[in-house]
Structure 1
Amino acid sequence: MLMIRAIVRPERVEHILSELSDAGFPAVTKIDVVGRGKQRGVKVGDIHYDEIPKDMLMIVIKDEDKDDLISLIVRNAKTGEKGAFGDGKIFITEVKEAYTISSNTKGL
């Protein structure tokens, strides 16, 4: 199993969630986060914004679904703005075990 953590622009989240559900990935955890990437924030006029609001989507999937899921997220999170930064980042980590609390069953 793999955990996908996708940090994306808040205005793209509802579209991404809809596409994930349509593609058979309905189980998602969404967390409001703030942070900055390589650009170290954004400067607008004289004001520097160090913490940019983003949303983090967490999804646990079977290993074989990785490429399809990553492609779906990238396709729907990317703004397409020329020279744009801040569309987000995707992190992938291995999940050794998962349990459903209500039934104490192991696995997805």
Structure 2
Amino acid sequence: MVKATILVPVKDNDGRPFEWEAWQELQQRLLQFGGYTDGGLVAGAWESEGRVYQDENRQFIIALSSWRDVPRFLDLAEWVRVRFRQEAVYIEIAGIPEILAG
């Protein structure tokens, strides 16, 4: 198994919480890997073009069955970036972090 993690902000950059439907759709998409763990809220900050953003994220942990599932996980990460209106999304695969930008 290969451990994969993705952070999903609970609010957009204007401070608006995401609608429940977005979370339900995300949870359904996570189930394509057989299951997931909601690691709860984690807080952080990041900077873009001189502006500092502070946010809370939900951390989702997935046990990929095989390295062959990595492309599907990357597709999920891109979907999260678009659906949750993000410039970038933080992921980790097997302990290796990356920020996927649009």
* TM-score between both structures, scaled by the size of structure 1: 0.58
Label 1:36 to 1:14 Cα distance change in 2 as closer, same or farther (>3 A). Answer: same
Q: Percent identity, please.
A: 15
Distance in 1 (alpha carbons) for counterparts of 2:62 and 2:44: 22
Find out whether 1:34 has 2:38 as its counterpart.
no
Q: What is the aligned partner in structure 1 of residue 89 from structure 2?
A: 88
1:18 shift after superposition: 1.1
Label 1:79 to 1:30 Cα distance change in 2 as closer, same or farther (>3 A). Answer: same
Q: What is the aligned partner in structure 2 of residue 53 from structure 1?
A: 56
1:30 shift after superposition: 0.4
Give the AA of the match of 2:71: D
Contact 1:9–1:55 (Cα < 8 Å) also in 2: yes
Select the structure of larger CA radius of gyration: 1
Give the SS at the match of 1:38.
strand
Give the SS at the match of 2:33.
coil
Structure (1 or 2) with the greater helix fraction: 2
**Residue correspondences, number:** 81
Give the SS at the match of 1:33.
strand
Contact 1:15–1:76 (Cα < 8 Å) also in 2: no
Label 1:91 to 1:37 Cα distance change in 2 as closer, same or farther (>3 A). Answer: farther
Distance in 1 (alpha carbons) for counterparts of 2:43 and 2:84: 21
Q: What is the aligned partner in structure 1 of residue 100 from structure 2?
A: none
* TM-score between both structures, scaled by the size of structure 2: 0.61
Superposition RMSD on alpha carbons, in Å?
Answer: 2.6
Residue segments in structure 1 that go unaligned for 5+ positions in a row: 43-49, 95-108
Give the AA of the match of 1:72: L
Contact 1:9–1:77 (Cα < 8 Å) also in 2: no
Give the SS at the match of 1:58.
strand
Label 1:77 to 1:18 Cα distance change in 2 as closer, same or farther (>3 A). Answer: farther
Give the SS at the match of 1:36.
strand
Structure (1 or 2) with the greater strand fraction: 2
Find out whether 1:72 has 2:76 as its counterpart.
yes
